[in-house]
Amino acid sequence: MAAKGKVYLYNSLTRKKELLKPSKKDRVSFYSCGPTVYWYQHIGNMRAYTVWDVVKRVLAYNGYDVNHVMNYTDVGHLTSDADEGEDKIEKAAKKEGKTAKEIAQFYIDDFEEQSKLLNIIPPNHKPRATQYIRQMIEFIKELERKGYTYKTKDGVYFDTSKIKDYGILIGGITAETIEAGKRVEVGEKKHPTDFALWKFSDKPGLRQQEWESPFGVGWPGWHIECSVMGSALLGKVIDIHSGGQDHRQIHHPNEMAQNEGYFGKDIVKIWLHNGFLTTPEGDKISKSKGGLATIKDLKRAGHEPLAVRYLYLSTHYRKPLIFSKDTLEAAENVYYSIIEKVREIKEKSGEFEVRDGKIKPYMDTFRKAINDDINIPQALAILHGVISDKKLNEAEKYQLIIDFDRVLGLGLDEVEKIIIPESIKKLADEREAARRKKNWKKADELRNKIKREGYIIEDTEEGYRIIK
């Protein structure tokens, strides 16, 4: 079997780039904290999933077999990341007049459609929290047996003072962790950082989602599901665990604490955190900060989802990335120019032979970039270099482009699907001419003809645009 590539990843825990050494040699276990399915996943969330998709692709490119688990949180995530507020799913169900199950399914479907538009490879396992209630209860019972828990009148809590290095992921217990804990209005908690493993139903029968347990009727806290589903599906070693920056403060320290309580140590080897998609002012894009746009919204507005992917890829995954009309349009321009050039290269590629000596140096530098903590901005620079290198022929260029796209996932192997064909552009021009002459009948006929070909014409102030 071919030697696997040496992949270095920045471990948030040790704050160093570390060589990935999978516990099962060729098979990497990878867990990602997935969507809370009470609302649409917005473009900020989708950056996170795109980052992890690229991590997976880099591992596959290096010959690893990746076993990827990403959960759906369909119960227990309260309106604050700590233990305060209402259950997000219950709240949405009430508001939309649907069952909790319907809510979860609706937003899962929407998320999966968005993921597909972004060329994100689906995880191997997509467990839902509500499918693991029994295992969560068992896990909590074990934590209880080992003395890590205590009861208050509203739930079973994890006693974080029992964990020597609690909060080490952000450098120990800091003002930040304390601040995060303080938000909780549970007077009976022993320490501000303690968190709920199981919450009791105030009045059983009122909630849609509640279960019998030895502790009382209730529902699981948010953090427990990840420790339980991760270990149930991946075993006692998780090579990589990913989440957004926000999870470094509460969710992941709590997962680590649960793992330590149950297994005697944390089972995650590399903790990986992506930077936020932000507004131009530097604020995290979130539901409350107008982060309501989804990939489907952008598509409806005529943007190409893969150009959004290009935007995500253009900044290193750990750094913040600004999303604005300007950054999107800039990414879109570059993306379409790549597509156009790749189309030309592909057209001529049949006329040449590939000389291995010419492509090897490019493949080496590409691999070096991606294996150095997923340096995709550099990988994109190498792609641009290949496209414009006069010393390469079209066959060599095309081979390199297709090879790189295994990691980039920008649809470069099917550019025809992304480009608007000339024939459609011509019909659109004819329709525009008919409109100017106020020949509405002809304009409508042409619009329908274009529609039958799979394209939609939208009239804007600056003129028309064609959407696939």
Residues that bind ligand AMP (CB under 6 A): 33, 35-36, 44-45, 47-48, 243-244, 246-247, 274, 276-277, 284-286
| 189 burial level (CB within 10 Å; 0-12, 13-18, 19+) | buried
345 Cβ contact partners less than 8 Å away, ≥ 6 residues apart: 387, 394, 397, 398, 401
Smallest separation, CB 70 to ligand AMP (Å): 10
Residues 23-62 that bind Zn ion (CB under 5 A): 33
Smallest separation, CB 68 to ligand AMP (Å): 14
Q: Kindly tell me which of 52 and 398 has the beta carbon lying closer to Zn ion.
A: 52
Angle subtended at Cα 288 by Cα 117 and Cα 292, rounded to the nearest 5 degrees: 25
Q: Tell me how crowded residue 125 is: count the other CB atoms within 10 A of its CB.
A: 15
Give the CA dihedral 428, 432, 434, 437, nearest 10 degrees. -170
Tokens at residue 55, please? 């991590």
Alpha-carbon distance 403 to 391, whole Å?
A: 19
Binding of residue 428 to Zn ion (CB under 5 A): no
Binding of residue 104 to Zn ion (CB under 5 A): no
Q: Binding partner of residue 305 among ligand AMP, Zn ion, none, CB under 5 to 8 Å per kind?
A: none
Contact 369, 375 (CB under 8 A): yes
Q: Kindly tell me which of 279 and 439 has the beta carbon lying closer to ligand AMP.
A: 279
Q: Kindly tell me which of 322 and 419 has the beta carbon lying closer to ligand AMP.
A: 322
Q: Binding partner of residue 286 among ligand AMP, Zn ion, none, CB under 5 to 8 Å per kind?
A: ligand AMP
Binding of residue 272 to Zn ion (CB under 5 A): no
Binding of residue 250 to Zn ion (CB under 5 A): no
Q: Tell me how crowded residue 312 is: count the other CB atoms within 10 A of its CB.
A: 25
Taking CB under 5 A as the binding criterion, the range among 104-112, 224-232, 294-302, 392-400 that sits at the site for Zn ion is 224-232
Smallest separation, CB 32 to Zn ion (Å): 8
Q: Kindly tell me which of 250 and 410 has the beta carbon lying closer to Zn ion.
A: 250
Q: Binding partner of residue 244 among Zn ion, ligand AMP, none, CB under 5 to 8 Å per kind?
A: ligand AMP
Q: Kindly tell me which of 226 and 306 has the beta carbon lying closer to Zn ion.
A: 226
Smallest separation, CB 261 to Zn ion (Å): 16
Q: Tell me how crowded residue 354 is: count the other CB atoms within 10 A of its CB.
A: 17
Q: Kindly tell me which of 275 and 395 has the beta carbon lying closer to ligand AMP.
A: 275
- Tokens 């690893």 correspond to 64
Give the CA dihedral 162, 165, 166, 167, nearest 10 degrees. 170
The string of DSSP letters for 349-397 reads HTTS---HHHHHHHHHHHHHHHHBT--HHHHHHHHHHHHH-TTS-HHHH
Smallest separation, CB 169 to ligand AMP (Å): 14
| 334 burial level (CB within 10 Å; 0-12, 13-18, 19+) | middle
Binding of residue 226 to Zn ion (CB under 5 A): yes
Smallest separation, CB 88 to ligand AMP (Å): 9
Q: Binding partner of residue 226 among Zn ion, ligand AMP, none, CB under 5 to 8 Å per kind?
A: Zn ion
CA atoms within 13 A on the CB side of 345: 27
Q: Kindly tell me which of 222 and 404 has the beta carbon lying closer to ligand AMP.
A: 222
Smallest separation, CB 58 to ligand AMP (Å): 19
Q: Kindly tell me which of 82 and 285 has the beta carbon lying closer to ligand AMP.
A: 285
Query: Which stretches of the chain bind Zn ion, using CB under 5 A?
Result: 33, 226
